[in-house]
Chains A and B, each alone.
Chain A
Amino acid sequence: MSECTRQQEIVALVRAGRWPDGCEDDARAHVAACADCTESVQIAMLLTDDYRAALRTARVPGSGLVWWRMQRRAREEAARNAARVVTLVQGICVVLGIALAVQILGAENLTHAFARWNLPLILGLTLTLALAPAVVAVYLALSGD
């Protein structure tokens, strides 16, 4: 199957509203002799007319309203994403806090706990607990959303 090479030119004439009166005799003669172009003209006329009629009746919301809705939706999505990150960090903090409490309370006294258990690990856990919310806050403040 192959199609006529002048088809796009003929369709462009229809779309420009130049068919049949505003075009050259040569184009009209070609369409009369070419079944491909005849079919294309018929379909192009139908679809172009339908498109123009639909454009006239189309009711779309104003650009200001669409922009405002988009901004609101973007903010809501950003808030949801932030809430997810915060919840995750909270979960990690709770787990670390429980681990820390178990280690400290399980020992006879605080000095013993530090001595018996791994001091760097306890300090690490404490620092993580203290800094995690700050890191999240900085991330959320600096992220594009």
Chain B
Amino acid sequence: MTHDLVMNDALTGVDSRAGTDTAHGPMDEDAFRAFYDRTSRAVWVYLARVTGDRQLADDLLQEVFYRFFRARATHTDEAHRRNSLFCFATNIARDANRRKVRTRHEAVPVDLEENAEVLRVDARVAERFEASTDLARAMATLKPVQREMLWLAYALGSSHAEIAEILGIRSGSVKILLLRARRKMAALLGRPAREKR
């Protein structure tokens, strides 16, 4: 794993040592920049996977850190601070997903002939951005909260308590919701979900 990966592997505990000295009150510039360097890539990837849109993730990243910083909250430790950051990311991504749905309903029909070149470029870009992979398709089919859960649990390694805190749901519900999300994902990926016990 590269240094960058370790430094940006939020919620994993790999970098739990980093930033522990600053994880209390509101941050000054140095503390903020160090925290941003540690977490920004993980947040960006989370936004990209949860919204299914890398360009949107670019736009939302700044918003997440801005709102997080403006909240001037105090945190007990680095993990608490990261969870709080991902909580902001989740809420902002949900808002963006809702706006996307509304915009899609109001979308103006595209002239395919006229925009053929643009569409070809878009297709190439989409291909490069893994949009055509099975995983991306399966993620796109899941409900937003299922995408968030699976990503937090399996990609970021969050515990059930952390997932509950980030997603704003009861801790006791995480286990069952995560199980359902995993089975749905497995079914979408062509691995038949196990029969209910």
Query: What residues make up the interface of A, taking CB atoms closer than 8 Å to B?
Result: 1-3, 8, 11-12, 15, 17, 35-36, 39-40, 42-44, 46-48, 50-56, 58, 60-61, 63-64, 66-67, 69-70, 73-74
Contacts and interface: CB of A to CB of B under 8 A. Distances in A.
A56 B1 CA distance: 10
B12 interface: yes
Nearest to B57: A58
Interface in B150-197: 150-151, 153-157, 159, 175-176, 179-180, 182-183, 185-186, 189, 191, 194, 196-197
A121 B116 CA distance: 74
B186 A39 contact: yes
A73 B66 contact: yes
Contacts of B9: 55
Contacts of B70: 74
Interface residues of B, number: 49
A55 B182 contact: no
Contact of A56 (B5, B151, B159, B179): B5
Given A42-B189, A51-B45, 8 more contacts: A35-B194, A42-B191, A48-B154, A55-B9, A55-B41, A66-B36, A67-B36, A74-B70
Contacts of B33: 63-64, 67
B20 to A, nearest CB: 19
Which of A2, A46, A60 has the most chain B CB atoms inside 10 A of its CB? A60
A10 B127 CA distance: 32
B90 interface: no
27 contacts: A1-B196, A11-B153, A11-B157, A15-B12, A15-B154, A35-B194, A39-B191, A40-B182, A42-B189, A43-B150, A43-B186, A46-B189, A48-B154, A50-B49, A51-B45, A52-B5, A54-B45, A55-B8, A55-B9, A55-B42, A58-B48, A60-B44, A63-B34, A67-B29, A69-B66, A70-B69, A73-B66
Given A43-B154, A50-B155, A63-B40, A70 B5 contact: no
B130 interface: yes
Contact of B156 (A2, A51, A73): A51
A2 B69 CA distance: 39
Contacts of A47: 135, 150-151, 154-155
B178 to A, nearest CB: 8
B114 interface: no
B4 A55 contact: yes
A30 to B, nearest CB: 16
A29 to B, nearest CB: 19
Nearest to B138: A46
B84 to A, nearest CB: 17
Contacts of B8: 55, 58
A12 B12 CA distance: 9
Given A66-B36, A73-B66, A39 B196 contact: no
A46 B190 CA distance: 13
Interface in B48-72: 48-49, 61-62, 65-66, 69-70
A11 B12 CA distance: 12
